[in-house]
Chain A
Amino acid sequence: MTQIAPVSADASPGTAPALAVEHVGAVLGGRQVLHDVSFALGAGELAGLIGSNGAGKTTLLRVILGLQAQSVGVVRIGGQAPGRRASGVGYVPQKFELDPDLPVRARDLVALGIDGNRFGIPLPSRRRRELVQAMLRAVDAERFADARVGELSGGEQQRVLIAHALIQRPRVLLLDEPLASLDLRSEHEVVALLARLAREQRIAVLISAHDVNPLLPAMDRVVYLAGGRAAVGRTDEVIRAEVLSELYGHHVDVLHLHGRVIVVAGPGGEQGSDLTLAHAHGTDLEVSP
């Protein structure tokens, strides 16, 4: 497979991480959704942003993107001062409906990643065409480049959206639940693709998911969110009974089964529980025989 050239590492060869989230808090509709969340990701690192529905995952991603204002704290991209950063961050939003008759081919959607925000009609340009082709190749999407995006499978659409987000060469790629509603095989392929892109293109990749298991083989770090608070570190540091019990504010057990992780509410977990049953079930159901 041909790869496109990695982003030149000229800027910040020193210590500045690709993404730094510092003491971020956010309020949404009068409710404190994020409390004092801090973590950093280096270029080439892949991290999972894990938490149940309502844990604040999407809010955190929107704060990093600049689409949602934090109440306190700072987000830095590549060590730069906080401010305009839309160009430094690529984003793949949560699954949305694409009508099968939408007259937009995969390659058109990728091209909109270059200049979809600009006014005027794009002039045909060979450089632009080649850039799109290279990006399609990088995500292994050349086969269906000329199909309507709405006719593609979930996994194929994810590849196209990743190419759309990456064509501007951002330092940081955020993906909101990219594995939701994918079958096991596409899930595996998308995770492998993201791990490869993080490595080859030296970008920091942050993937939100309600289940940690599909990301386990690829993840360098985990940002585990519960009730708006975060526990951050290597997977084996964070996904432990003591750490998660403190995060959830009540006892939880972490079970290991055939290389998979299951987080379940322990006895006495019913009062003031942030750990929803849906979350426990969600992980439970992933256990393969």
Chain B
Amino acid sequence: MSSVLHAIVEPGFFGSAQVHAALAITGAAALLCGVIGVFTVVRGQSFAGHALSDINATGGSAAFLAGISPVWGYVAISVAAAGAMEAIGIDRRRGRDIATGIVLVVGFGLAALFLFWDTTLSGASNATNEVLFGSIWTLSPGTVPIVIALGAGAITLLAVIYRPLLLSSVSSELAAARGVSVRIVGALYLLALAAAVALTCVAIGAILSTGLLIGPAAGALHLSRRPWSAMASATAIALAASWLGILLAYDSYYWPPVGNGWPVSFFIVVLVFLFYAGARIRAARG
């Protein structure tokens, strides 16, 4: 039995503090993404969510420059960018896409400069890789409680606004007629989205974080007819992809080139994609 287990799980996996931290962080990110991602996809805001993730490269690289934990950079830039999106008016599709695209490019420009300074001036030679593609093994232990608090806060916020958010995601007209303040609910949702994006950036980096936000939810919509079960399926997909991804990344230390693990984010996004494809195929077969 133990030899079979060893073949799948390399020795030391369950005892490693780094693994524990990685499981906790991706767990929080997956839980939040499963819930909020369904709303993001239903509201047709996948591009906005993607832009919000990408622009975190600016926040992460600035945090490296300032010598603070990248988490704070992610949180600050996410909230600022979400505020900007709300001010522009995220529900007007065309204006939104143009404004989002332009702000995103400026953000990447700044990230290019900050990352250049990070690597040349402050000697953080791995900053580019960590910010863009994540570095869950090298996070400081203090990151875990911050991430869990953020995730719990955002989930609580979503539970509070659940019904008005669901109704206004179906139709803002219907919600307004029922007396829902569509704008306030939308702003609170964006705040929770900012937290979700910051978390996924910590887990798998700014470029790939959309994978965890959108992919599981998009797959879940093929499997579920009800809001609750869609969120449960999305969370299950996100959790399975994240934890399986961590396991594979851990195992990959023994794969060539031996002694250098493959990137965790690679495994996670590939698994998310496989789950998504599986869900589509299952739905197509009826």
Residues of A in contact with B (beta carbons under 8 Å apart)? 65, 67, 86-87, 89, 91, 93-94, 96, 98-99, 101-105, 108-109, 112-113, 115-122, 146-149, 161, 164-165
Residues on A with C-beta less than 8 A from B230 are 103
Partner of B178, one of A86, A98, A119: A86
Tell whether, in the assembled complex, residue B171 and residue A116 are in contact, meaning their CB atoms are under 8 Å apart.
no
Tell whether, in the assembled complex, residue A67 and residue B177 are in contact, meaning their CB atoms are under 8 Å apart.
yes
Residues on A with C-beta less than 8 A from B226 are 103-105, 108
| Alpha-carbon distance A283/B175, docked complex (angstroms) | 33
Tell whether, in the assembled complex, residue B179 and residue A119 are in contact, meaning their CB atoms are under 8 Å apart.
no
User: What distance in Å separates the Cβ of B33 from its nearest Cβ neighbour in chain A?
Assistant: 16
Partner of A117, one of B179, B221, B229: B179
Contact residues of A: prevailing secondary structure? loop
User: Which residue from chain A places its CB closest to the CB of B227 in the assembled complex?
Assistant: A103
Residues on B with C-beta less than 8 A from A148 are 225
User: Which residue from chain A places its CB closest to the CB of B44 in the assembled complex?
Assistant: A99
Residues on B with C-beta less than 8 A from A108 are 226-227
Partner of A113, one of B178, B224, B227: B178
Residues on A with C-beta less than 8 A from B254 are none
Tell whether, in the assembled complex, residue A120 and residue B177 are in contact, meaning their CB atoms are under 8 Å apart.
no
B 28-51 to A, binary, CB cutoff 8 A, 1 in contact else 0: 000000000010001000000000
Q: Which of B15-23, B161-169, B205-213, B267-275 contacts A (4 or more CB under 8 A)?
A: B161-169
User: Which residue from chain A places its CB closest to the CB of B168 in the assembled complex?
Assistant: A116
A104-B226, A104-B227, A148-B225 are known contacts. Are A116 and B173 too (CB-CB below 8 A)? no
Tell whether, in the assembled complex, residue B177 and residue A102 are in contact, meaning their CB atoms are under 8 Å apart.
no
Tell whether, in the assembled complex, residue B167 and residue A112 are in contact, meaning their CB atoms are under 8 Å apart.
yes
Q: Interface range on chain B: under 10, 10 to 19, 20 to 34, or 35 or more?
A: 20 to 34
User: Which residue from chain B places its CB closest to the CB of A174 in the assembled complex?
Assistant: B177
User: What distance in Å separates the Cβ of B116 from its nearest Cβ neighbour in chain A?
Assistant: 42
| Alpha-carbon distance A91/B225, docked complex (angstroms) | 25
Residues on B with C-beta less than 8 A from A87 are 179
A104-B226, A116-B167, A117-B167 are known contacts. Are A86 and B162 too (CB-CB below 8 A)? no
B159 at the interface (CB under 8 A from A): yes
A103-B42, A103-B221, A105-B225 are known contacts. Are A117 and B170 too (CB-CB below 8 A)? no
A86-B177, A98-B170 are known contacts. Are A122 and B163 too (CB-CB below 8 A)? yes
| Alpha-carbon distance A87/B177, docked complex (angstroms) | 9
| Alpha-carbon distance A161/B177, docked complex (angstroms) | 12
User: Which residue from chain B places its CB closest to the CB of A113 in the assembled complex?
Assistant: B178
User: What distance in Å separates the Cβ of B271 from its nearest Cβ neighbour in chain A?
Assistant: 22
| Alpha-carbon distance A86/B177, docked complex (angstroms) | 7
User: What distance in Å separates the Cβ of B138 from its nearest Cβ neighbour in chain A?
Assistant: 38
| Alpha-carbon distance A87/B180, docked complex (angstroms) | 12
User: What distance in Å separates the Cβ of B93 from its nearest Cβ neighbour in chain A?
Assistant: 12
Tell whether, in the assembled complex, residue A119 and residue B42 are in contact, meaning their CB atoms are under 8 Å apart.
no
Tell whether, in the assembled complex, residue B225 and residue A146 are in contact, meaning their CB atoms are under 8 Å apart.
yes
| Closest 9 pairs between A and B when the two form their complex, measured CB to CB | A103-B230, A116-B167, A91-B177, A93-B173, A86-B179, A101-B221, A117-B178, A112-B167, A117-B179
B176 at the interface (CB under 8 A from A): yes
Tell whether, in the assembled complex, residue B38 and residue A103 are in contact, meaning their CB atoms are under 8 Å apart.
yes
Tell whether, in the assembled complex, residue A119 and residue B160 are in contact, meaning their CB atoms are under 8 Å apart.
yes
B 210-228 to A, binary, CB cutoff 8 A, 1 in contact else 0: 0000000000111011110
User: Which residue from chain A places its CB closest to the CB of B160 in the assembled complex?
Assistant: A119
| Alpha-carbon distance A117/B162, docked complex (angstroms) | 10
Residues on A with C-beta less than 8 A from B173 are 91, 93-94, 96
B88 at the interface (CB under 8 A from A): no
User: What distance in Å separates the Cβ of A4 from its nearest Cβ neighbour in chain B?
Assistant: 20
Residues on A with C-beta less than 8 A from B175 are 116-117
Q: Which of B234-286 contact A (CB under 8 A)?
A: none
